[in-house]
Amino acid sequence: MAMGILALLTLLTACPRAAERAGERMAERMIERGTGADVDVSAGKDAVKITHEESGTETTIQRAGGMPEGWPAELPQYPGSTIEGSTTQSTEVGTVYHVMLKAAASPDEVAAFYREKATAAGYAMKNEATTPEGKMLMLEKAEWMFMVRAAAADGGCQINLQLLPKGK
């Protein structure tokens, strides 16, 4: 169900306005049936925003472009990578960010880059794991937890970055 909703929302970002509004209404009904929550879906050229009508929390799904609005500059996009998509979600404790990148690099190179950038920005390493597929890092500082997953894929690397606010 969730994959179907995500696929529909991704398609909405490429629709002309009349079809876009019909798609928005269909996405709203699918999400409301699946979650029981009242939502408002609005699609733009490159992003879809879902607003929970009762709480006002928002989730934005961005197809491409730059790093999401509000992402800290101290944790830059991996050099030479392509952004495949991103999401931001407002929560009671702050904004949750997720960025998906593709790069012509190894998981070790990606992990080393983000380890260096994050520690220079004041993050402390909490956990590091190596698997046959790649690397995972978990770093944190006072208000944030930063997670990096880098996995070998198609002669390069699939990179997933998550930045989560720590509970207050």
1-21 pLDDT, tens digit each? 444 554 555 554 444 555 556
43 shares a domain with 117: no
The first and second tokens of residue 83, run together, are 């952004």
76 in a domain, yes or no?
yes
Q: What domain range is 14 assigned to?
A: 1-53
21 shares a domain with 101: no
58 in a domain, yes or no?
no
pTM recorded for the entire structure: 0.69
The whole-angstrom separation of Cα 89 and Cα 59 is 4
59 in a domain, yes or no?
no
- Residue 13: what are its φ and ψ, rounded to 5°? -70, -10
Angle between helices 2-12 and 17-35 (to 10 degrees): 160
74-106 pLDDT, tens digit each? 999 999 999 888 888 877 778 888 899 999 999
161 shares a domain with 100: yes
